[in-house]
Amino acid sequence: MMTTLVPSLDHLKQAYAVTAKATQITPLLESAALAGETGAARVFVKPESLQWAGSFK
């Protein structure tokens, strides 16, 4: 059985304070092609490759 740990609001605020200096907000884009392929009504993607580090998830 897995246990799920939920971070506290204070932990989230601390993490934001650290990561906000090294990241930027990326847009949320709708992908009609992915929606069509998956049969979903709408699919949204985040282009994390636009981060300064160029990472992609």
Write the pLDDT tens digit of every residue in 11-41: 999 999 998 888 888 899 999 999 999 999 9
Determine the average pLDDT of the residues in 36-48: 92
More confident residue, 10 or 55: 10
Is 17 within a domain? no
Is 32 within a domain? yes
Instruction: Decide: pTM greater than 0.85.
Output: no
Per-residue confidence (pLDDT) for residue 57, from 0 to 100: 56
Is 18 within a domain? no
Q: Which domain holds residue 56?
A: 26-57
For 10, 15, 16, 57, the CA distances from 7, given in Å and listed in that order, are 8, 10, 12, 22
Is 31 within a domain? yes
3-state secondary structure of 35: helix
